[in-house]
Amino acid sequence: MAAPQVDGNVGSRLDVPAAVPQISKDSPTQDPAASDKPKPVRTRPQKPNYFLIHSKPLPLETHPLPAFVPQNPLSLLRIAYIYLSQLISAPSSHREVPITGIFSSETRSVHITDHASVRALWEMGFFGKGTMSRSEPSWLDREKARLKASKRGGGTAEENTRKRREERKLFKLERARAEAEQIEETLRQERAALGSAKQEKDEEKATEIAISHVFPWMQQQDGDAEFKEETKAVPAEDTKPQEPVTNIVEVPILPIGTTIHTAGIQDETAVTEPEEEVSITNQEHLQLNLEESFFLSYALGSLRILDPNTKQPFSSPSLLTLFRQHSHFPTAPISTLRADDPFLLNYVVYHHYRSLGWVVRPGVKFSCDFLLYNRGPVFSHAEFALLIIPEYAEGSIEAAEGKGKMGWWWLHCVNRVQSQVKKSLVIVYVKVPKDLPSSENGEVDIGKLLRGYEMREFVIRRWLANRSRD
């Protein structure tokens, strides 16, 4: 590797010490209070380090060889030693405790209940979805935060939102009232400026008459004198005798966090200690769709899928047949399975893009089959939306019937949705083979079956006349 070029006029930091700026007598001195000024407090909580949490793209352990340094010949010996040690005792790429899931025919998915396995699948590749969350399984953390906020008096997020809306409503009403008063004051000043002296005298006289009727004790002693600015009000004496105040209970000052229970008027107060933190049982599990489950089980070997009845793990061929059956609704019998089963078409595309390093997520929310992320949902939005269309060979019955073809109205609707969410629409044509390879000894060669499918990709962008003018 070539060394970086260094300008000859610029010296090294180690050779030339940094120049210390000298303060002249004429220069203004710095205010010592400015240096002691506290920094603003961060109001938002600091985000977690996602680059460290999601550093591994797949739930596998890799053991790469160290880098070779040409300037250090001893690095070659280290590479040879590690290579020979891995040949003698090859390290495992899988976890010591395998990830185990249970297939659910009702939801057509695989459920992971172990919390450590759930976090491993999400942090290493963004697999699955929390059953009580939008995407990431974070129900336990949100529930702890909600209980903590309720103890402090903060309440849940919904309650805080309602409070903010009420405060905003009151603020708008107060602002409207102040604006109305200001307008009324301006109009009054304009009317006073345009009014004649006679009108002002009549108004003053009317005001004096009104005040004399309402507050007779504020009448003027001199008839032709103006009202004084300072007047003393002499309240009338209350003829009703005051009753003596009895049963006064002195409440002691208690520390924050204590609770006082009173029942009527008692001589003592019951003080309870603050409650301890209640342990919360995690009620959420991870839900994997059929494509994710088969990729983790067949392609990576990181997942064992158990039969809910026998509690025995499925083999890869039996799992393929099971998923092909459940890709239809209602569940299709084995005799009716074909080469264009929805599971086979979806898994071919899923396996292709996962092997290229993309993070593939379901795209039903955006009217597509899959979404492609560069690194994951926590880093950026999805860049591409995939639509899978089967392509049949010429002369087949499906091609004669026009199966797999969509109308232009449908394509324009889907493309409009993707343009609104700022995603590029990719049409993926999957060429369906005429016949599937025959099974040997009752088991299908999955690799040979997948190699019979071909893919073609087309990126479609919405054409706008205003942006395409000369």
- Check if 172 is active-site: no
Answer yes or no: are the C-beta atoms of 160 and 154 closer than 8 Å: yes
Nearest to 461 by CA among 383, 358, 405, 359: 383
- Three-state DSSP state, 99: strand
Residue 414 · residue 447 · CB < 8 Å: no
Is residue 200 within 8 A of residue 192, CB to CB? The reply is yes
Which segments of 197-285 are extended strands (E)?
A: 259-261, 270-272
63 is catalytic: no
Distance CA 351, CA 447 (A): 12
Report the alpha-carbon distance of residue 369 to residue 385 in Å, rounded: 8
Residues 6 or more apart from 43 whose CB is under 8 A from it? none
Cα–Cα distance for residue pair 353/368, rounded to 1 Å: 15
Question: Is 373 a catalytic site residue?
Answer: yes
Q: Which of 129, 350, 423, 453 is catalytic?
A: 423
Cis, peptide link before residue 330, omega less than 30° from 0: yes
Residue 305, phi then psi, degrees to nearest 5 = -110, 125
For residue 286, what is the enclosing H or E element?
strand 286-288
- Tell the residue number behind the tokens 């997948």, with chain if given: 450
Residue 244, exposed/middle/buried by CB under 10 A (0-12, 13-18, 19+)? Answer: exposed
User: In this structure, are residues 252 and 271 in contact, taking their beta carbons and an 8 Å threshold?
Assistant: no
Beta bridge partners of 102: 111, 306
At residue 367, the 3 state secondary structure works out as: coil
C-beta separation of 138 from 377 below 8 A: no
- Provide φ and ψ at 307, rounded to 5°: -75, 130
How far is CA 142 from its chain centroid? 12
CB 280 within 8 A of CB 147: yes
CA count, 13 A, side-chain hemisphere, 144? 8
Choosing from 228, 381, 403, 434, the catalytic residue is 381
**What are the start-end ranges of the H helices in 248-341?**
290-294, 316-326
∠409-413-418 over CA atoms, to 5°?
A: 145
Active-site residue identified among 298, 347, 350, 373:
373
Residues with catalytic function: 373, 381, 423
